[in-house]
Every structure is written in C-alpha cells, then in structure tokens.
Amino acid sequence: MDGEKRKKVKPKIKKVKVSFLTIILVISYFIAYPQAVYEHISNSKIYDFLDELSNQKIISINSAIKPYTRLYIAQKLHEAENKIDQLNKRQQNELTFFLKDYNKELLPDKKFKKRLDLFYYKDSLFSCTINPIYGINIFTNENGHVYHRWEGAEAFGYLGKNIGMYASLRDNHESQPLERPAYLTLRTGAPYKSPADDGSVDYDEMRGGITYSNKWLTIGMIKDHFVWGNNYNGSNIFSGRTPSIPQIQFCFKPVKWLTLNYVHGWLASNIVDSAASYNYNSGSRIVYREKLLTANMITITPLKYLNISFGNSVIYSDMGTNIAYLMPFFFYNSIDHTYASANPIGNNSQMYFDISSRQIKGLHLFTSVFIDEISISNMWKPDKQSNFVSGKFGLNFSKINNFNFIAEYIATNPITYRHFIPTLTFQSDLYNLGHYLTDNSQEIFLSLKYKPIRGLNIQISYTNAEHGKEYPYTGTNNTGKGLPFLSTIEWKNEAIALNIDYQVINGGYLFAGYTLGKTSGNVQKYSPPLFRGKTNTISMGFNYGF
C-alpha cells in the first residue's frame, strides 16, 4: 500500500521540478542579467585600489563583505573611468592596467587591450579564461632558511547571461611548516599531509564553484574563503584564515540601500565519530563528526558612503542539515532555543555588527564588534561578567596623493570564539574562524603606504600583538565568568616591517621585505620555529596568479 502511494506521488514531484526549472530558464533567456565569479581575497591589490577610490568618494563599496565578484569589480572600475578627471596620474594608470583584465566582464567582444592569458575564449554563449599559477617565497633570518613554493592552475568562465563557473587548484610545498592551528599568524591555515623525512610538508587546495545570478540575486555552490568585517590586518568576525570551506552562498540586493548576505558551510570538525568508524581488512575507515555553519549579514546604507551591517551565525552539529538554518534572514539563536528547550546545552551562536563610514573624503572610519556571549545584568559585576566580546576599531587616512596611513586596534575578551563542546567550536580544521589572535588578546597595528607609480607599493608597518592566558572552559560551575583581561601575557610579538612589491603584469608580482621582529613568551606553542625570539627576517619572491 505504501509502495503504491509512493509511485503515485513521484510523477507529481517530477512535474513540479521540471516546471520550476523551465520558469528559471525562460526568465534567464528573456532578461539579460549578470554572471558572478568571485575574485579571491589573496588578489589584494585590486581590493586595495577599490578601497582607495572609495575613500576618495570616486566610487562607493561595501567593504564589510568579501570576496567581490569580478563583475562587481569591473562595474566599479567603469564608474571610476567615468570620473577619470578626478584621478591622479598614477591612479589613471592603475585603472587602465586593471581594465585589461576586468573589461572581459564589461565588453561583449574581445576588441580591447587585454591582459596576457594562457588561454582566452569568448563567443555569444560561452567564455573561458585559463591561467597557470606559480610562486615562491623565501625567508631567511638567524633561525634558518625556509621557503614556500606553490604551483597550479586557475580557470573561470560564463555560460549564457546568468551562469558563472570558476576553479583554482594549488599544490603547496613548505620546507618547514609555517602554519599550525595554534600559531598566532595571519597566514591562511593549511591542511597538511604527513611531513617528509626532512621535515618539509605539502598540501593542496581546490577552490571554486558555480553560481546563478540576476540583477538582485546571486546563489552559489562554492568552496572558497570569505571575509566579513572591515579590516586591514585581520577581521574579528570571519577572517578567511581557515582552509577554504564548502558552502552555499546567497546575496540578495532588492534595493540600493539594502543587501543580505548568507552562508551555509560544511566545516571540518576533526572529531572522530567512533561509532561510525570501522575496520576493513588490514586498515580502518575514520569517520568524523559533522559540523555546520550558518551565518547572515544585513547591510543598510542610510547615506552614501555609510554602511551599517549586522548579523548572526551559529555552529551546529548532530542533527544533519537543518532546514531552519537554511533560512537566510532568521535569528538563529532563537531556533537553537527550540531544539534545546529540554537540553541546557544547545548549539553555539554568535552576533556581530560592523559600521563603515567614508563621509569625510580621504578618511575611512570603521568598527567591528563580535559578540559570542553577553550578560547585560552582570556586565558591571567583575566576578560574574561573562562578556565574550571582540572589538576592532580603525581608520584609513588617504588625503595626501599616493600615501595612506592605517591605524587599527583590536581587543578580544577571554573565552570569545571558544566552546566546551568540541563539535561546536568557532573553528574549521582547528583554525579559528575569527581573529587570528583568538581570545584574551589585543593588537595595535600601524601602517604607512606609498604608491609612487603604477603597480609599485611600499609599506612600513608596526605591529604589537599580545595574547594572554587560555583559561579552562567547561561551561559549568561558572567557568568563563569574571575572568580578567590580559592579567598575564603568555605570548607577545613586536615587529617593524618594510615590504615592497611591484605588479609587473596582470597577476604577476615581484616582492621583497625586511622585518625586525621579537616574539617572547610561549613561542614554542604560538610561533613557527623560524620566527621565535629576536629576528631580522629578509623575504623575497615572485608569483603569477592567485
């Protein structure tokens, strides 16, 4: 009887699916809408250039959400092209240089001065770009010599008016590990393979995805990094520092003053599910516990050059992919209460907001606040307060031609980002999703940049980072409450750095740097061997592609 019912239902479901797909295809055929391919956040120079133009009120951007799509970048460059008389000579040259790449998104044919590509094809239906990736970065100081080499290929393309596709594969080799989950460094986390006999390590990473977009909506199934929160030296909301995350991404922009961004991601828990793991022949199959992330960020633009963003997220597990967490506009902590009404330990939810103001020409003011847990009633009671909060404040001053000055300060209270259930920590592959210094820490970052000619960047920076005691946190007996901020300094890094890079061709860089650094405290745990103690580090290298 049940079998007969199922047979009757199946054709109806199939008809609904076909009808829905037909509607989408018909809409796509009759309306010319843009495609979406994301430009990776490691291509920092195009992001810096758009930020510079926005600070000078030549364009307006929402810099709280990255990465941008290539089309979005192209449109902003086109806006700047319409105001080219407001750009200085170096900026005009930068604009012309970047349009050699991003005009692919704007112009219907190949009749423009285009960058060098290994392969480029475009017709009325399909376009495709393929380029190699290769780079090397060499470090040397009193502690030794280390190099990081990477190679691979990347491709992106468009199908029709609405479909975008992209892929990037990089194989990495480090003569000595430069990233570990415990290391307090801005470097992106690495999913290392077993080390070789000489101590060197290898890892590879596949990024990319497929998207559907129209004038007001973008939906994508991708595996990539993302950054939420304004920053110039590491975000305290989502920093993009973990290995890339498979995710469903959603961006909804029905009007100019409102944008909703949403992510549902599948994280790597690194927690073994012993019940699901099993042995076979002479080996074993290790199965890991599920760990999922859902997050949204709503941006309101009440005035031009002023963006107010707020959102919430939750790390959840042990219930499969929950449809309630697939709702892009929900308050997820309330959903958690539904499932935890008979269980005092629910999932791990967070809230955050970000304010970015470029009202004054040449001055970008911003703040990002991440709230893991807050108690209003106990806020002013030192022995009971449990305000697990991180706050970042900063400015970028660029009123003088070709110069800009950046100042940032971040303070993160004890226990922020942490959770006592291993499958609910604010991590993926054991790397923190938030700020690289994790909890009970602070940092002052100062930077002066000079861009004398197109493609040349000279930066002097000062960093003072401190990390305090990592308190035990079990979630019971008031652990985590009333803990003092930085009562002791467990690790400290002071560094003065000079970095120079030059973009010779689109995607091709030469770079060199010198860093006078001093790390103290528990350097064995928090610092790579190369950067422990007082060091004078020289670095140099080149890369093509990202």
**What are the structural domains, with CATH classification, of the chain?**
31-544 (2.40.160.130)
Mean pLDDT of 317-343: 85
How many CB atoms within 10 Å of residue 541?
18
Predicted TM-score of the model (pTM): 0.91
Q: How confident is the model at residue 15 (pLDDT cuts 50, 70, 90)?
A: very low
pLDDT at 86 over 60: yes
The DSSP result for 232-293, as a single string, is SS--SSB-S-SSPEEEEEEEEEEETTEEEEEEEEE-----B-TTT-EEETTEEE--B---EE
Pairing of strands 363-373, 388-397: antiparallel
pLDDT at position 529: 97
Measure the CA–CA gap between 234 and 445, rounded to whole angstroms. Answer: 10
Write the single-letter amino acid at 405. Answer: F
pLDDT at 340 over 70: no
pLDDT at position 131: 98
pLDDT at position 497: 98
Q: How confident is the model at residue 35 (pLDDT cuts 50, 70, 90)?
A: confident
The string of pLDDT tens digits covering residues 439-476 is 999 999 999 999 999 999 999 999 999 999 999 988 77
Bigger pLDDT: 199 vs 30 = 199
pLDDT at 51 over 60: yes
Sign of CA dihedral 390, 67, 326, 474: negative
User: Measuring CA to CA, which residue among 130, 160, 166, 159 is closest to residue 38?
Assistant: 166
Q: How far is CA 285 from CA 271, 275, 278, 289, 423, in A?
A: 14, 11, 5, 13, 20
pLDDT at position 121: 94
Measure the CA–CA gap between 194 and 62, rounded to whole angstroms. Answer: 41
Asked if residue 392 lies in contact with residue 352, where contact means CB atoms within 8 angstroms, the answer is no
Residue recorded with tokens 């012309």: 96
